[in-house]
Amino acid sequence: MKKILAVFITALLLSACGKNEPPLPKDASAAETPAKVYNWKMVTTWPPNFPIFQTGVEQFAKDIKTMSNGRLNIKVYAGGELVPPLQTFDAVSSGTVQMGHGGAYYWAGKIPAAQFFTSVPFGMNAQGMNSWMYYGGGLDLWRETYAPHGLVPFPMGNTGVQMGGWFNKKINTVDDLKGLKMRLPGLGGKVLAKAGGNPVLMAGGEIYTALERGVIDATEWVGPFHDERLGLYRAAKYYYYPGWHEPGSVMELIVNKKAWDSLPNDLKMIVEKAADSTNVRMLAEFEAKNLDALEDLKAKGVEVLKFPTAVTDELKKLAQTVFEEEAAKDPGFNKVYGAFKAFQEKNTQWNAISESAYAEVLKK
């Protein structure tokens, strides 16, 4: 009994001593500190309020602010509001701003290979481009191409297959393209030149007037929704398809590399996933709005015509010639062209028994 009593008394004494002990200090690493807030600027190549393109970018910025709980705030400037539209690449590369949005083929003068990361004549559609980008090595190659310029690119939007353009005369044979003055930039313009046409470089805001006054004979723009808004149906009667020159144009998000490296991993993930979401939603919005716009254009008397097979077959041959010539001049172009071509060949084989085959079934 004495032993049990001694143990009991000792336990009480120890307990009392514990109550008088000062609390252990908190781990300094567990101390709460205010989360760092990043305030970034983003410039685009698009006019203010430009549907789908500019409005999609603005929604992207709102999504990031919400997902980051205000830790990453992006102020979006339309083309010309902070820097001229075609200086977007340089502004982000130099670190003047942290982000930019546009099309990689706008920088063909700096990086000829960049055109493959948007769209090239007789290239892949949106589904094929996404497959190449995310799981076929395209994005890795894109980032390797942009690395010397201090940029990290992401796919962020796609127009889908564009229309072939507006013409003031019917195109029945390749000969009808000879001498034709058409607003058609990039590699598509070079293919047109091979066919005897005269490609013209022209800003979007000048297209309608030039077509109406006969300065040009034809023009491409985007698709039914944007073409109708620009009023091109009032300046030309014949609306051709498909858009062989841009079958699946990827829009790009570019981020300054130093700014990107400064972000913690969770904010990097938020940017990446917001870009992925915007990539999907932009394409969906294009598809949905083009459906109704095409019906409106037909109701306004526009003749929607398909390019004759003989014409597109010849243009496709000329496109291959252009690719080979460009590849011979630039090692970077040659490298990307090789990778793009290899993936497209496999994609075409699969598409023949999947998407294309199913489309044929629906026709019957």
For residue range 73-90, list pLDDT tens digits in order. 999 999 999 999 999 999
Question: Strands 151-158 and 250-256: what pairing?
Answer: antiparallel
Integer CA distances (angstroms), 115 to 67, 107, 195, 315, 334, in order? 32, 8, 21, 18, 12
| Cα 361 from Cα 364, distance rounded (Å) | 6
Mean pLDDT for the stretch of residues 232-255: 97
pLDDT at 13: 41
The tokens of 306 are what?
């398909």
Domain check: are 84 and 170 in the same one? no
Q: How many domains does the chain have?
A: 2
| Cα 204 from Cα 185, distance rounded (Å) | 11
Domain check: are 127 and 223 in the same one? no
* Residue 145: domain span: 38-158+249-288
111 domain residue, yes or no: yes
| Cα 42 from Cα 101, distance rounded (Å) | 8
281, 287 in Cβ contact below 8 A?
A: no
Q: Which of 312, 285, 298, 154 is nearest to 226 (CA)?
A: 285
Sorting pLDDT into bands at 50, 70 and 90, what band is 203?
confident
Terminal CA-CA length for the chain: 100
The tokens of 185 are what?
């930039």
Mean pLDDT for the stretch of residues 231-240: 96
Mean pLDDT for the stretch of residues 141-148: 98
| Cα 127 from Cα 133, distance rounded (Å) | 10
Domain check: are 355 and 335 in the same one? yes
Mean pLDDT for the stretch of residues 93-116: 97
Mean pLDDT of the chain: 92
242 domain residue, yes or no: yes
341 domain residue, yes or no: yes
Tell me the percentage of the chain whose pLDDT exceeds 90.
Answer: 88
Amino acid at 233: Y
Integer CA distances (angstroms), 143 to 38, 131, 206, in order? 24, 16, 33
5 domain residue, yes or no: no
Domain check: are 122 and 224 in the same one? no
For residue range 22-67, list pLDDT tens digits in order. 554 444 444 456 789 999 999 999 999 999 999 999 999 999 999 9
Q: pLDDT at residue 268 above 80?
A: yes
Q: Which of 142, 138, 156 is nearest to 277 (CA)?
A: 156
pLDDT at 202: 81
Mean pLDDT for the stretch of residues 107-125: 97
CATH number of 68's domain = 3.40.190.170
Tell me the percentage of the chain whose pLDDT exceeds 70.
Answer: 91
324 domain residue, yes or no: yes
For residue range 279-289, list pLDDT tens digits in order. 999 999 999 99
Domain check: are 86 and 199 in the same one? no
CATH number of 199's domain = 3.40.190.10
Its pTM stands at 0.88
200 domain residue, yes or no: yes
Amino acid at 350: W
28 domain residue, yes or no: no
pLDDT at 31: 44
Secondary structure E strands in 300-341: 303-306
For residue range 290-338, list pLDDT tens digits in order. 999 999 999 999 999 999 999 999 999 999 999 999 999 999 999 999 9
Domain check: are 242 and 256 in the same one? no
Phi, psi of 230 (to 5 degrees): -80, -10
Domain check: are 137 and 274 in the same one? yes
DSSP 172: -
DSSP 28: G
Domain check: are 321 and 222 in the same one? yes
For residue range 335-359, list pLDDT tens digits in order. 999 999 999 999 999 999 999 999 9
Phi, psi of 39 (to 5 degrees): -115, 110
Sorting pLDDT into bands at 50, 70 and 90, what band is 201?
confident
Domain check: are 171 and 222 in the same one? yes
Domain check: are 283 and 312 in the same one? no
- Residue holding tokens 């609390």? 23
124 domain residue, yes or no: yes
Please confirm whether the linkage preceding 148 is cis (ω < 30° from 0): no
194, 188 in Cβ contact below 8 A?
A: no
| Cα 278 from Cα 264, distance rounded (Å) | 21
**331, containing H or E segment:** helix 331-352
